[in-house]
């Protein structure tokens, strides 16, 4: 519980490894989009997600901090695409598709592919507490080095 | 405007600030009752150990804050006068955009709900709880000018001391 | 289902790649998380590697070219034909009329056997594409440090406090390296990137130096001048471990940061910052790549890098050293195996009588040809002159990769006999008389040596369909010619390599198969753990001391002129790989860039009235090519950038060679851009 795909955008080298890996894991369509500026965009699995609110067929469902998509219930009305604040839902013909956090891999106890494959370590699969703790460690290093220079 | 400043050389890593923060953000504001509350009261600042130093990390309430920029739902807002960044839990959707852009790693998560949690600089108090709780005065709440003056005084004291030694 | 451990067939980083196999069929890839280099990561090319395996465009049967097109033939007939034609040319024109191109994509065993075949046939005309990428490193670093390889492993970069990156775009070409550079940065390291183009690597920098193309030496000498003036050199290290410092000091006495700034076009303050950061930090590393080597002064450029590292004592400790990043999965191994015209296995010069005879006696001969053979580009020239009559090319695509491609095509067409061994019908294979299909990396076993000198075993995951591995083909061919009387398994050949090359003596198939992280050569005996960091106590030169070689800036061979006012430089992009023979066939990769593009600065584009997406004709004195315009601030005004993964780019490049390393000056050519390709807008 509490594990998220979290991104450190300053690390992204726009190598598209996550896109290629995601497409391979999901039958040719990638659920993550890398912007040329170096930001991977993928479903944030929001609390009270907008996509879920607008879906009238119940194809989207929230469970355990995850927004789950039921493809067979989707009618392709595209309302979720319009509602999503991140543009993280795609359309394949007449059905939507979105990140499922690699549910088939997690069942085998494996990490989502994008987080594991990222060569630059920009994408991680961790909880917010660990992620922020690591960031504080990095920020703390420069802070501490500044203090070292001051000699106290 | 007053800010919270950290005097790193004074921090002993006692975590009093963290405790005070959690209690201040509980419903009862009393440590004995707070521990059994739901949602569990959580701290919004963090004492870390880096290079053998103890360092309290708390929101810097940055000018033109990156977290406010990244927030897609308007849950994070910045007061133009005080520059305090406030988080509205009702609007937060737990997308962690703010967490991912924050350079200091000071936006955490609520225990029960999947939403962000950050320092609000104790709106109801004259002095923030963490500052008040700090036994070594490593955390201070003052104007930037005042803080700089304090540092100058310390430096002047050092210089004066060395002059005394030199006779 | 089982997961078979293999090594990724793309760049030289040597990332492990697990292949999920079920009922003899590869069904997916799995990340190997316990490898110290990758921790499970893979770049897009590695992620799409499996596409090669069942690709419909793969050749599945040997083919001969006849007037009406290609005719499929059996393996026996094909090998018979190959053996006969090679021997005919040898009988008629002598062994030096044969040319062999080995492959940096093939295993150590295959390269070893391939060059052994060439040399047993009596010629040293065997070379491979290391000539086109890092031959200056082999020559330059061998002169300076005694070994032409990377000094430290890639993960060791995390221990660096300052990383100086020169002419390398590893974020696109060796993405896994960025993990360790970013790790160092998280730990407070200062990252400097010098590159004429603002690449994704440059985005990682604390300090970015947009130097003019071809001015590396001026920058490095400028930095050294600063270091000397400010007394930041490590004089203890210089005194104890190096020779020739006084000559270097003298050569720098009339050089200054102002002069460097004039030549490179950089702000002098930035050069000073870079010099101080590099010299002052406890551990500084230099990463360099094609931007340093692919010049007519390639060897000098490498020597300048070595001078800087030696002057500051930044070699032989964790987090320090020189990192020439190799481009192909086994380019290090192919060089170690002696698939080079002037070097025998283990970097023994062909002119070294003792070393050569020792090897000859191992191969059951009295002696081997002493005269250094022709290098990649020289072979093509010799073919045009008619000195080389037949070529046997294993897994290379010189029609796309060699400079001044017009000449290369002429040369290949002029050959009496050309045999090409490849996965796909490449641009080179289309010119061949005989094409042999081969097994790809997952269809054979063998060892690969990564750029870090890490020797790793790659296991066969699936059975090849209709094709043979390079090793089987060479074995059968040698048997037909009468060089040996049996075929070899990779294990047998690796054991022979251990006998031939002292640095590989302790590396056995058993040890490699048992180890997840491989063994770093030199590994002199079976109980030796391998050597991740070179030059710790002594350098690998004969006397154990490193050498300074003073070098000075020389202008590039071609300057912009009235007719050709722009400078063109070439490089790579993340989704494609080298000559594109693999990546252009793989849709998940090629969709990122299906055709050739050119990057032009907005200022130049405005002057020429070009718009984004327009097709233009780019020409140099040697040829022309069409490309799609990408307008971008990444290149400075006056510079254009072309990725070399597409046929045609090398029609423009220059064939001037570095005098020592014989590398062509790919990186700087004069050119012009004209509106309107044949397809219009």
Q: Rounded to an integer, what distance in angstroms lies between the CA atom of residue C424 and that of residue B32?
A: 74
CA distance, residue C45 to nearest chain A CA (Å): 8
Residue B120, helix vs strand vs coil: coil
**Is-contact C552 C220, C-beta < 8 A?**
no
CA-to-CA separations, C259 to C90, C211, C309, C352, C636, in angstroms, rounded: 55, 13, 21, 42, 21
Q: Are C356 and C370 in contact (CB under 8 A)?
A: yes
The full DSSP string for C320-343 is -EEEE--SSTTHHHHHHTT-SSSE
> Is the per-residue pLDDT at C583 higher than 70?
yes
Where is average pLDDT lowest: B34-43, B72-81, C249-258?
B34-43
pLDDT (0 to 100) of residue A152: 61
Contact C16, C38 (CB under 8 A): yes
Domains along the sequence of chain B with CATH: 1-58+121-142 (3.30.70.20), 59-118 (3.30.70.20)
Residues in chain A with CB shorter than 8 Å from the CB of B51 are 140-141, 144-145, 148
Residues in chain C: 681
pLDDT at A36 (0 to 100): 82
Dihedral Cα C166, C170, C174, C180, nearest 10 deg: 90
Range(s) of chain C covered by CATH 2.20.25.90 = 2-52
Q: For residue C88, what are the contacts with CB-CB under 8 A and spacing of at least 6?
A: none
Choose among A129, A134, A140: nearest Cβ to B109: A129
Residue A139 lies in a domain: no
Nearest-CB residue to A142 (from C33, C188, C588): C188
Neighbours of A110 (CB within 10 A): 15
| C19 DSSP β-pair partners | C4, C29
The predicted-structure confidence for C439-475, as pLDDT tens digits, reads as follows 999 999 999 999 999 999 999 999 999 899 999 999 9
**What pLDDT score does C678 carry?**
60
Helix (H) or strand (E) holding A69: strand A66-69
Parts of chain C belonging to CATH 2.40.40.20: 566-675
Tell me the pLDDT tens digit for each residue of C307-334.
999 999 999 999 999 999 998 999 999 9
Q: Residue C681 above 50 pLDDT?
A: no
Q: C426 with C399: CB under 8 angstroms?
A: yes
The residue among C190 and A147 whose pLDDT is bigger is: C190
| Residue C519 confidence (pLDDT) | 96
Q: Considering the domain C566-675 in this protein, what is its CATH number?
A: 2.40.40.20
The interface predicted TM-score of the complex, written ipTM, equals 0.94
Which tens digit of pLDDT belongs to each residue from C45-64?
Answer: 999 999 999 999 999 999 99
The pLDDT value recorded for residue A65 is 84
| Whether residue C654 has pLDDT greater than 80 | yes
For residues C70-108, b (16+ Cβ closer than 10 Å) or e, as one string?
A: beebebeebbebbbebbbebbeebebbbbbbbbbbbbbb
DSSP of C532-588, one letter per residue? Answer: SS--SSS-SSTTS-EE---------S----SSS-EEEEEE--TT--TTSTTGGG-HH
Mean pLDDT of C571-583: 90
Domain C63-132+329-520's class? alpha beta
Rounded average pLDDT over C560-585: 91
Residue A152 lies in a domain: no
- Per residue in C226-236, pLDDT tens? 999 999 999 99
- Using one digit for the tens of pLDDT, what is the confidence trace for C170-205? 999 999 999 999 999 999 999 999 999 999 999 999
Q: Tokens at residue C617, please?
A: 């004709």
Report how far Cα C138 is from the mean position of its chain's Cα atoms.
Answer: 11
- To the nearest whole number, what is the mean pLDDT of chain B? 93
Element at C209 (helix H, strand E): strand C207-209
The pLDDT assigned to C97 comes to: 96
Q: Long-range contacts of range C254-259, CB-CB < 8 Å, 24 or more positions apart?
A: C255/C221, C255/C222, C255/C225, C255/C552, C256/C222, C256/C225, C257/C222, C257/C225, C257/C226, C259/C218, C259/C222
Average pLDDT rounded to a whole number, residues B105-130: 93
CB neighbour list of residue C501: distance below 8 Å, 6 or more residues apart: C336, C337, C345, C346
> How far is it, in rounded angstroms, from Cα C74 to Cα C68?
19
Whether A138 maps to a domain, the answer reads: no
Burial of C628 (0-12, 13-18, 19+ CB in 10 A): middle
In a domain, A84, yes or no: yes
**Quick one: which of B55, B88, B58 has its CA closest to B71?**
B88
Contact C81, C65 (CB under 8 A): no
Q: Say which residue the tokens 């500044």 belong to.
A: A146
Q: Where are the beta strands (DSSP E) in C336-416?
A: 343-344, 348-349, 390-394
Q: How confident is the model at residue C524 (pLDDT cuts 50, 70, 90)?
A: very high
Query: Does residue A144 belong to any structural domain of this protein?
Result: no
pLDDT for residue A150 = 81
d(CA C369, CA C359): 12
Rg (CA), chain A: 18
Residue A5 has pLDDT above 90, yes or no: yes
> What is the model's pLDDT at position C655?
87
Neighbours of chain C (3+ CB pairs under 8 A): A
Q: Where in the sequence of chain C do the CATH 3.40.228.10 domains occur?
A: 151-324
Residue C402: both structure tokens together? 């060699």
Q: What average pLDDT does the segment C97-108 reach?
A: 96
Q: List residues of chain A with CB under 8 Å from any CB of chain B.
A: 2, 4, 6-9, 44-50, 65, 85-86, 127-129, 131-141, 143-145, 147-148, 152
Q: What is the CATH number of the domain that holds A101?
A: 3.30.70.20
Contacts of A105 (CB under 8 A, 6+ apart): A25, A111, A112, A113
Task: Label residue A38 by pLDDT band (50, 70, 90).
Answer: confident
At C680, is the pLDDT very low, low, confident or very high (cuts 50, 70, 90)? very low
**Taking CB atoms and an 8 Å cutoff, what residues of chain B touch A60?**
none
Output the average pLDDT for chain C: 94
Query: What are C640's two structure tokens?
Result: 């254009």
Could you tell me which residues of chain C have a Cβ less than 8 Å from any Cβ in chain A? 28-29, 31, 33, 38, 40-44, 46-48, 50, 171-172, 175-176, 178-179, 182-183, 186-188, 200-201, 203-204, 574-575, 588-589, 592
Verify whether the Cβ–Cβ distance C200 to A38 is below 8 Å: yes
Q: How confident is the model at residue A1 (pLDDT cuts 50, 70, 90)?
A: low
Q: Which residues contact C329 (CB under 8 A, 6 or more apart)?
A: C7, C8, C9, C10, C11, C12, C14, C104, C105, C441, C448, C450
Contact A26, A97 (CB under 8 A): yes
The CATH class that applies to domain C151-324 reads alpha beta
Residue C670 tokens, joined: 């004069």
Q: Is the Cβ pair B93, A7 closer than 8 Å?
A: no
* Strand runs labelled E in C25-172: 25-30, 63-66, 69-72, 98-101, 126-127, 162-166
Provide the residue range defining the domain that includes A43.
3-127
Q: Class assignment of domain C2-52?
A: mainly beta
Cα–Cα distance for residue pair C294/C328, rounded to 1 Å: 16
The total number of structural domains that make up chain A: 1
Element (H, E) at A97: strand A95-97
- The residue count for chain A: 152
């Amino acid at each position: 519980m509490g594990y998220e795909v979290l991104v450190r955008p300053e690390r992204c080298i726009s190598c598209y490894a996550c896109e290629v890996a995601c497409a391979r894991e999901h039958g040719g369509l990638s659920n993550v989009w890398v912007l040329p500026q170096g930001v991977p965009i993928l479903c944030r699995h929001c609390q009270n997600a907008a996509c879920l609110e607008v879906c009238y067929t119940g194809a989207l469902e929230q469970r355990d901090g995850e927004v789950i998509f039921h493809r067979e219930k989707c009618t392709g009305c595209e309302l979720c695409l319009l509602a999503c604040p991140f543009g993280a839902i795609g359309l394949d013909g007449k059905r939507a598709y979105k990140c499922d956090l690699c549910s088939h891999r997690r069942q085998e106890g494996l990490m989502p592919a994008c987080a594991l494959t990222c060569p630059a370590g920009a994408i991680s699969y961790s909880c917010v507490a660990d992620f922020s703790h690591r960031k504080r460690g990095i920020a703390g290093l420069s802070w501490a080095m500044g203090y070292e220079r001051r000699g106290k | 405007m007053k800010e919270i400043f950290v005097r790193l050389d004074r921090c002993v890593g006692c975590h009093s600030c963290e405790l005070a923060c959690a209690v201040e953000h509980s419903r009862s504001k009393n440590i004995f009752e707070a521990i059994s509350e739901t949602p569990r009261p959580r701290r919004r600042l963090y004492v870390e150990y880096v290079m053998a130093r103890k360092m309290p990390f708390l929101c810097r309430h940055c000018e033109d804050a990156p977290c406010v920029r990244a927030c897609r739902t308007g849950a994070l807002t910045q007061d133009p006068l005080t520059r305090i960044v406030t988080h509205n839990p009702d609007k937060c959707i737990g997308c962690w955009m703010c967490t991912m852009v924050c350079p200091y790693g000071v936006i955490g998560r609520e225990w029960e709900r999947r939403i962000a949690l950050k320092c609000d600089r104790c709106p109801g108090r004259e002095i923030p709880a963490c500052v008040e709780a700090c036994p070594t005065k490593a955390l201070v709440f003052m104007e930037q000018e005042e803080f700089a003056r304090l540092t100058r005084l310390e430096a002047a004291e050092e210089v004066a001391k060395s002059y005394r030694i030199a006779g | 289902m089982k997961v078979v451990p293999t090594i990724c067939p793309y760049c030289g980083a040597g990332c492990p790649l697990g292949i999920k196999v079920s009922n003899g069929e590869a069904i997916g890839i799995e990340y190997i998380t316990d490898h110290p280099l990758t921790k499970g990561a893979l770049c897009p090319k590695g992620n799409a590697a499996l596409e090669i395996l069942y690709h419909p465009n793969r050749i599945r049967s040997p083919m001969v070219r006849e007037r009406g097109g290609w005719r499929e033939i059996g393996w026996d007939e094909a090998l018979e034909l190959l053996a006969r034609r090679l021997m005919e040319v040898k009988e008629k024109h002598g062994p030096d009329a044969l040319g062999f191109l080995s492959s940096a994509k093939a295993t150590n065993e295959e390269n070893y056997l391939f060059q052994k075949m060439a040399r047993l046939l009596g010629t040293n005309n065997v070379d491979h594409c290391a000539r086109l990428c890092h031959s200056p490193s082999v020559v330059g670093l061998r002169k300076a440090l005694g070994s032409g390889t990377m000094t430290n492993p890639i993960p060791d970069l995390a221990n660096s406090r300052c990383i100086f990156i020169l002419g390398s775009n590893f974020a696109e070409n060796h993405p896994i390296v960025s993990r360790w550079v970013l790790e160092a940065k998280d730990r407070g390291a200062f990252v400097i990137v010098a590159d004429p183009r603002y690449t994704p690597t440059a985005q990682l920098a604390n300090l970015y130096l947009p130097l003019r193309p071809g001015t590396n030496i001026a920058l490095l000498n400028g930095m050294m001048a600063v270091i000397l003036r400010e007394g930041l050199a490590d004089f203890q290290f210089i005194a104890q471990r190096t020779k020739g410092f006084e000559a270097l000091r003298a050569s720098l006495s009339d050089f200054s940061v102002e002069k460097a700034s004039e030549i490179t076009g950089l702000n002098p303050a930035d050069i000073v910052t870079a010099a101080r950061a590099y010299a002052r930090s406890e551990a500084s590393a230099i990463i360099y790549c094609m931007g340093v080597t692919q010049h007519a002064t390639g060897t000098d450029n490498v020597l300048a890098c070595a001078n800087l590292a030696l002057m500051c004592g930044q070699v032989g400790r964790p987090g320090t050293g020189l990192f020439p990043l190799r481009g192909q999965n086994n380019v290090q191994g192919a060089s170690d195996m002696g698939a080079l015209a002037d070097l025998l296995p283990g970097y023994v010069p062909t002119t070294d009588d003792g070393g050569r005879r020792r090897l000859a006696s191992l191969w059951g001969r009295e002696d081997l040809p002493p005269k250094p053979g022709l290098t990649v580009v020289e072979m093509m020239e010799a073919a045009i002159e008619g000195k080389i009559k037949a070529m046997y090319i294993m897994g290379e695509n010189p029609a796309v990769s060699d400079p001044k491609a017009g000449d290369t095509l002429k040369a290949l067409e002029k050959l009496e006999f050309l045999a090409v061994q490849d996965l796909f019908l490449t641009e080179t294979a289309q010119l061949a008389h005989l094409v042999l299909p081969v097994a790809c990396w997952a269809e054979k076993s063998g060892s690969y040596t990564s750029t870090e000198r890490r020797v790793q075993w790659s296991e066969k995951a699936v059975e090849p369909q209709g094709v043979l591995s390079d090793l089987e083909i060479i074995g059968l061919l040698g048997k037909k010619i009468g060089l040996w009387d049996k075929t070899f398994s990779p294990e047998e050949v690796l054991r022979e390599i251990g006998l031939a090359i002292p640095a590989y003596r302790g590396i056995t198939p058993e040890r490699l198969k048992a180890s997840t992280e491989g063994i770093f050569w030199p590994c002199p005996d079976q109980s030796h753990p391998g050597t991740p960091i070179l030059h710790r106590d002594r350098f690998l030169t004969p006397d154990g001391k490193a050498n300074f070689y003073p070098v000075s800036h020389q202008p590039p061979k071609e300057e912009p002129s009235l007719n050709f006012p722009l400078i063109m430089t070439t490089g790579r992009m993340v989704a494609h790989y080298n000559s594109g023979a693999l990546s252009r066939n793989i849709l998940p990769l090629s969709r990122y860039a299906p055709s050739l593009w050119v990057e032009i600065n907005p200022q130049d584009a405005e002057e020429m009235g070009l718009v984004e997406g327009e097709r233009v004709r780019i020409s140099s004195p040697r040829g022309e090519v069409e490309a799609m315009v990408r307008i971008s601030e990444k290149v400075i005004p006056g510079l254009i950038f072309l990725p070399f993964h597409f046929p045609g780019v090398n029609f423009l490049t220059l064939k001037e060679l570095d005098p020592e390393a014989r590398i062509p000056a790919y990186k700087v050519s004069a050119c012009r851009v004209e509106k309107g390709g044949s397809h219009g807008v």
